[in-house]
Amino acid sequence: MDILSAIKNRRSCRKYMPEPVNDSDLDAILAAGAAAPSPANSQPWEFIVITGKDAKIKIHDEALRCRNFLFEKSGWKWLTKYDLEFVKDVPAIIAVTGDPKKTGADMFMDGGNNAWRDACSASVQNMMLAAAALGLGSLWFTMFDRNNLRSLLNIDNEKIPTALVFIGRSSADLVITPRKDIKEITRYIK
């Protein structure tokens, strides 16, 4: 699949078939993550591939705790409708952690030292597009407290978990979410 079709076809997937993701697909997705741009090529990311049921249940429980906490803080009703059962059965989860020491020139700029996180995000997006190109669904998932996730996944204190990337074959049609008109969000300087 060409890159523009992968971008168009990728949509957040929240229902997965139980079949595992095969190793060659997982390897291709990880390689796509590692191919992302980063400040001064610092490659601030590390990946943890999670396929075991126990870890998925712990991630589910943390997400539920987080959802309830966010609802208490915000009162946002949609949070109560956000079903997290699927988290226990996602075929593969890739945790992306970043190293804030691995930064670039941005450390000298106003409000600097964020580029490591931007790079981790580029890596997440690359993985999701690779998954789409392989006909797999994916989800960028952030319902966790970073310290809790760190102890759940045995991540050392120097590293910051930035995202969980869920991957697997979708068991439902992906929902096409609307986008703003390009004209509304773009201006040109000629």
Ligand X SMILES: Cc1cc2nc3c(=O)[nH]c(=O)nc-3n(C[C@H](O)[C@H](O)[C@H](O)COP(=O)(O)O)c2cc1C
Q: What does the binding site for ligand X look like in residue numbers (CB under 6 A)?
A: 11-12, 14, 139-143, 177
Pick the closer one to ligand X by CB: 7 or 17: 7
Pick the closer one to ligand X by CB: 159 or 166: 166
Q: Which two tokens stand for residue 57?
A: 């249940």
Residue with tokens 């079709």: 5
Least separation in angstroms between CB 189 and ligand X: 27
Pick the closer one to ligand X by CB: 23 or 79: 79
Residues ≥6 apart with Cβ < 8 Å to 169: 16, 17, 19, 21, 91, 135, 136, 137
Residues ≥6 apart with Cβ < 8 Å to 137: 11, 13, 16, 131, 167, 168, 169, 170, 174
Least separation in angstroms between CB 145 and ligand X: 12
Pick the closer one to ligand X by CB: 116 or 141: 141
Helix (H) or strand (E) segment spanning residue 181: none
Least separation in angstroms between CB 159 and ligand X: 18
Least separation in angstroms between CB 138 and ligand X: 9
Helix and strand counts by DSSP (H, E) for the chain: 7, 4
> How many other C-beta atoms are found inside a 10 Å radius of the C-beta of residue 20?
13
Pick the closer one to ligand X by CB: 23 or 37: 37
Least separation in angstroms between CB 109 and ligand X: 22
